[in-house]
Structure 1
Amino acid sequence: MMTTRELKMLQREVTLLRADGKYKETINKGMDLLEIGKELKDPKSQLVALLNIAACYYSIGAIGEAFESIDNYQKICYKFGDSEDYLQLYNVLFLLYEYHKDYERAIETLEKSKDLALKLKKYNIASNAYSNLSHVFMEKGNFAGALKMANAGLEMAKFHEPESPLLEFRVKLNIAKALIGTKALDKSIEMIEQMVKEPVLEANPREMAQCYMLYGEWYAANGKTADSLHFFEKAKDIVEGYSDHYLLKSILEEMIRLSEVKRDYERGFYFQKEYISLLKDINEQELSKKALKLDLKYRLYETEKRANTDSLTGIFNREYIENKVDDWLKSGSSVVCIVFDIDDFKKINDNYGHLFGDEVIRNTAKACNSLIEKEELFGRYGGDEFVILMKESTLEKGREKAKYIQQTLEHLLEEKAGTALTLRTSFGVSSSRQGSAKTFKELFHLADQALYKAKMNGKNQIMYESQ
């Protein structure tokens, strides 16, 4: 059993792996953390795992898998999450809405993030939310709105403790860009010239490159194409030094456009060649990502399978069935519950050993699983107790199903040390149609009471909840 300290260390390890950009390692460790969190019924571990898994899938372009992880995060967050868990949810949802250019939902999510961050006095997150709102507004061409949001973001960054010059600087980049968009060119160049003198740029080449890009945009807005190209080339030199393919792609696209405006077709052709070479590199990266994506998708499938199935028998486990049937009942479906166990199973274990007992349980599960039809679930509840759920069925059909399974198991001979054992089983059947069961636990309790009556009445019998 993992200790609380070990669990927290694993949570931290997963978070740090993602911060280091080790996406495959993060997802693999995250899957381990997710499994352990489910086994220990620890929601926080599951939330940490799913959040980091979702962010890594987003980073490698596996958007479907990212949404799936976020969907699972939401379900746990709604049941067990605190305010900070919701804050993390909003932040990661924004990335996905932005990716799909679903700006309305992106704005709605950022507003929630901003309001909750302010309530919790998480000023750095509030600043990021304002900054992202500014970015979305610029994408929509609303530069006045973008400027307003960016200025609010800068105010939030100043409230953050400890002081973070980089947090403030990143908001200023949006302010300067929005000023150029609103044609406030004097203000924007004054701000850019102040920014390039800030010490924070010494250790942050990406932000330095973005400053040169702002110079390039400013000169382009003033119709000075040659100067604009000069600064985009300076930005390009920096970005090539730390291999930011996607920022480099944006820079080259603008340099090609500016070359055409200047009618400098020779330089334009040179930039086009660089652009094509970059696209080839990006494509190779994408192919590598696709291979990684397939590998991780298989890993996710295996993890989900293990989380939903009983390790001894391979059939559904109690948790999966409970969640699934609760969904059925919430949607208004009628459900029949059949609970059964093996009569005198303890004697089998005592006389022949637990390994043989496990084999009997496996064979019982295998025989019954072949009889399960569409709209039915079959799982192991625990020990030698099994449960079958029948959607949109009746008590009478449940009795028929129970009888069929009972007769099948009677023909399932188990041999041990030259002795053939005939399995005897007792059943309890309940139905949500009676109106007294609104959840799986309530429905199971009624069937379990009927099973108890079958035991008290001599075993090897089928009893209903009303009997």
Structure 2
Amino acid sequence: MRITYKPAVQVDTEYDRLYAAGRYEEAIEVMRTFLEECERNKNPYGAMLAHISIATCYYCMGQSECAFQSILLYKKLCDEYGAQYEQYNLCHLQSLIYEYERNYKKAKECTEECIHLARLLSLPHELCVSYTILSYIHLMTEQYEEALTTAQDALAIAELHTSKDSRIQCHIYSILSISYVLLDQLAEAAYALEVVARNPFSQSSRLERSRFLYIKGLLALKVDDTELAISFLVEAEALALTTQNSTLLKRVYLQQALAYENLKCFELAYSYMKKYTFMLEDLYKGCTRSKLEDLDIQYNMSTLERLANIDSLSGVYTRHYLESACDQWLSEARETKDDICCVVFDIDDFKTINDQYGHLVGDEVIKAVGQTCREVIQEKQTIIGRYGGDEFVILFKNFSKQHLMHKISELFQALTNLCVTGHDYKIQFTISMGMVSTESIIARKFKQLFRIADQALYMAKSQGKNQIVTLSNTNCHINCSSRPFS
């Protein structure tokens, strides 16, 4: 959560309304108009207010470079006309930008200077805001105890001096709730969130409502109620999308990715991790300090991408991945002239296994088949996938005919020798295979290649099962044997 600077002087209620609603681009336009008026009237103090307000909006939008440009214009005027209060404003916004860029050391230094200036100038509201920001910096540096203590200090100041300011109260209790969640003090976190829920500012601001739902999602994840967490995070995402606050949306995406990963919904997890990463790249591309170099994120992305394409039951690739990968191979083969072979097989009389032993045992058979395929077929330029039910597909690229026949025979024997055992069952089975190669047929898409291989499989079934049939086209039967390629 970010505590943003709000102009102390009410120059334009329209700006305040737009800012509170998260409509930052419109708020910037209001302040640009005000800035032009100040420049015409040679009003440096109003101009400083306009620059700092514009910088704040850019900060909320995640545009740090634009924010820095406005800060430089503010600083130029501040050096000439400003007093200590203007120095506080400058230092305050610099701390936010440094925190945004993850330069927490500089952010902490600026915030501590803000605390010093606020004490010097006897500004309880600004002191409270600065303590709140410092507690957030502690959160970001995983100093959760310090974050909690500092937020409690901010709350004490707020209750003594700014008890009627619902905005700052909302911010403090939000940070308290996050701190409690991360410290596993879940009852205290729930209480802090109840306070936020009753806060008028939380109820009126879409941004704060989104932040509240995000924290509710964090709490639900902590108590392992992942489905409830997702419901909160989905609502938080919808609200965050309307507020232009990219930093909050980024955090929501990350938690959604983690939540869906917990549910083993890897496609959705990967989708949200992609959104998070793309947003992270966009947020940091203009930073003066850092670029996206987070190896942990890259690792998580590759892991989730792999899991999103893996069939959770069999451990081999999904039908969707099979189709897309094969289509790419076939497209490349038009130039490279690579030979693509498609092998389709299924378990003979698999329905009988399900009917006799139940679907859970049938699932164990599918798992065993997938594992055996992975153990036998380990070469590069191969893709093993589950097309659906008990039907599997294996793609080979640029294998010599001799090597290809050897691997298929090896797999056929391994599967027919496989015995799946459990507490009260021992199952052996046979398989039927159909295969086709682009060496002998023309196929531009996976569906065309699969259709002919599937016809070969059907022929193997109709001729007694437990055999391999190879087709060169829909009418030509090349090989049919109960002992493959003997």
Q: TM-score, normalised by structure 1?
A: 0.49
Structure whose residues are more often helix by fraction:
1
Q: TM-score, normalised by structure 2?
A: 0.47
